[in-house]
Amino acid sequence: MDDTPDPAPPPELRYLKTLVTVLTAVMIVGVITVATLLVIRLRAPAPPLPEEITLPDGARALAVTLGDDWVAVVTDGDEIVIFDRLTGALRQRVRIDQAP
């Protein structure tokens, strides 16, 4: 009689091998998708901004955010200064009060 073991792997091992192969394929597709989306988003044109924004005297910008038609600048003087996005004209100044 022949006592050599069966060379076929057990069903559990074949199942695990299939799962690892599928996971690898899903991860490759995911990385390609993320890279493609990054390239598409980074190639989009920058939003139109005014040529120049003049902050109030002595103010220093800490943060800038964009709206549909405005640009807001947070200054070190506890103030939010809002400018028109196309012309750069001052629209509004909002004082930030300290919490009690």
The verdict on 77 and 92 lying in the same domain is yes
Q: Which domain holds residue 78?
A: 50-100
Q: What amino acid is encoded at 98 in this protein?
A: Q
pTM given for the model: 0.57
Domain count, the chain: 2
Same domain, 39 and 58: no
**Residue 6: predicted pLDDT:** 67
**Shared-domain flag, residues 31 and 61:** no
- Tell whether 25 and 61 lie within a shared domain: no
96 and 54 inside one domain: yes
Question: Is residue 68 located within the same domain as residue 27?
Answer: no
Cα separation values, 79 from 31, 65, 75, Å: 42, 14, 5
Do 33 and 55 belong to one domain?
A: no
Residues of the chain with pLDDT below 70 are 1-3, 6
